[in-house]
Chains A and B, each alone.
Chain A
Amino acid sequence: MTRLGAALALGLLGLAAPASARAEGTATSAPAPAGELDALFARFAAMPGLQARFAEDKQLSLLVTPLHSEGTIHFLRGRGVVVHTTSPTRQSTLVTDRQLVLWDGRTVRRVDLDASPSVAAFARAFTLLLGADREALERAFTLALQGRADDGWTLRLVPVAAAARNVVATIELEGKGLILSTLRIREANGDLSTMRFTGVDVQRRYTGAEADRIFRVPPP
């Protein structure tokens, strides 16, 4: 699992929080410019699939050097999101509507999302972001967009629930058009993850055989 998954899952814990908890949140960001957000989410909604390479540097506040990892991320509607980390070691994570499947290079662990509502937030998180479910996303986050959807932009997500902000302070996603470039996740404890994307293919169409191979954990 990447920081993308972690942050979205942790941030979207607000979705699982009761309304009273959500009401604790205080939206400090200015309302997102509706037209540009609409345009951005419309672009995501039209995306058939996604493939990208990522390089992540995670700076733990306790450590003097960042932890580096690299790999690929794939998204396909109906299949979910799979992250294959290739360095420093092979690990994979698959999130579907029903299951979270983790492979640490040796062991496969499966979490039944229907039986684990807290973990189910992971699946919803990926669906919300890549499936462009803005309404659901805004129930969990205050969104602030800078820039233009068809040019360089930065989308800043701040968890609505105060309790969620105790875990994740902010999530910032940068891109140009549909091409994601950088994801920054600031945790409340000061840890910072920076994930840079390259080779982003937002028109990725997977054949059935490709999907069977790529969206399999552990990978063949």
Chain B
Amino acid sequence: MTRAAAVATLALAAMTGGCSPPASPAPGERYPCVLHPPSELSPDMVVEQHVVARFRGREGEFDAVMQKRGAELLVVGLGPMNVEAFVIRQVGDDAALTQRLGPRPPFPPRDVIVDVHRVFFKRLPVPAEDGEAHGRIDDEDVTEVWRGAQLRERRFARQDRRGLVRVEFGPGCARDRCAPRTARLVNEWFGYELLLDNRRFTWL
């Protein structure tokens, strides 16, 4: 790291109140989920969002951009001034972190990508009517709740886990295009919560 970059890092770390290493929601335990390569996911899009993560009484937040394009899925964490703080890149079934400045992502890179998949890409076929839809995605039981022609909740259950991973969607996830203004992911398996304020969707 150059001297200037080092000083910039320190300056920005000071501005953001410092940064701490990502906390694993399950030390030594892999977050179960089949990660499909981005090339198999649709649609291609960019989502600008504000993320709040709550875990064991602690809370952290940051701005981020999720970009899914072709065979690549990116989560770019932003520091003050929209400076690129970190990048999590999924290509194939591998997720890697590049850290440039604080703040750091709240969880290991693969776990962040897993939650992106659960919120935006792991979905059942769109039902014709409101109500609960049930299905199986990979090795998980999935329930979706539709009200007013909008998806309002998605739940993931596993036979080897107690509890659920639950995603509550704010308005905007319609049958033809899912752009929820907000999403709240509650992970009962590992006891954390993510709040997503999706400020802007761009379809590619």
Bitwise interface map of A from 11 to 28 toward B, beta carbon under 8 Å scored 1, else 0 = 001101100010000000
Of B22-30, B81-89, B157-165, B184-192, which stretch is located at the interface? Answer: B81-89
Neighbour of A3 across the interface among B8, B61, B81, CB < 8 A: B81
Which A residues are CB-close (under 8 A) to B84? 60, 62, 189, 191
Which B residues are CB-close (under 8 A) to A9? 11
Known: A60-B76, A63-B65, A167-B8. A6 touches B83 (CB 8 A): yes
**A106 and B61: CB pair below 8 A?**
yes
> Which residue from chain B places its CB closest to the CB of A68 in the assembled complex?
B200
Interface size class of chain A, counting residues whose CB lies under 8 Å from the partner chain: 35 or more
Bitwise interface map of B from 161 to 204 toward A, beta carbon under 8 Å scored 1, else 0 = 00000000000000000000000000000000000000110101
Kindly list the 5 A-B residue pairs having the minimum CB-CB distance in the complex, ordered from nearest.
A6-B81, A163-B4, A166-B2, A163-B3, A88-B199
Which B residues are CB-close (under 8 A) to A17? 3-4
Which A residues are CB-close (under 8 A) to B3? 17, 21, 163
Q: List CB contacts (< 8 Å) of A98-130 with chain B.
A: 100, 102, 104, 106-107, 109, 111, 116, 118-119, 121-122
**A1 and B46: CB pair below 8 A?**
no
| A62 to B116 alpha-carbon distance, docked (Å) | 18
Known: A5-B81, A64-B69, A111-B14. A16 touches B7 (CB 8 A): yes
Decide if the interface of chain A is mainly helix, strand, loop or mixed.
mixed
Within 8 Å of chain B (Cβ to Cβ): is A198?
Answer: no
| A167 to B46 alpha-carbon distance, docked (Å) | 26
Neighbour of A63 across the interface among B2, B4, B8, B46, CB < 8 A: B46
Q: Can you list 23 A-B pairs with a CB-CB distance of less than 8 A?
A: A1-B81, A3-B81, A3-B82, A5-B81, A6-B80, A10-B8, A17-B3, A62-B74, A62-B84, A62-B87, A64-B67, A65-B46, A93-B80, A100-B15, A102-B15, A107-B17, A111-B14, A119-B14, A163-B2, A165-B4, A166-B2, A166-B4, A191-B84
Q: Within the complex, what minimum Cβ distance (angstroms) separates B89 from chain A?
A: 9
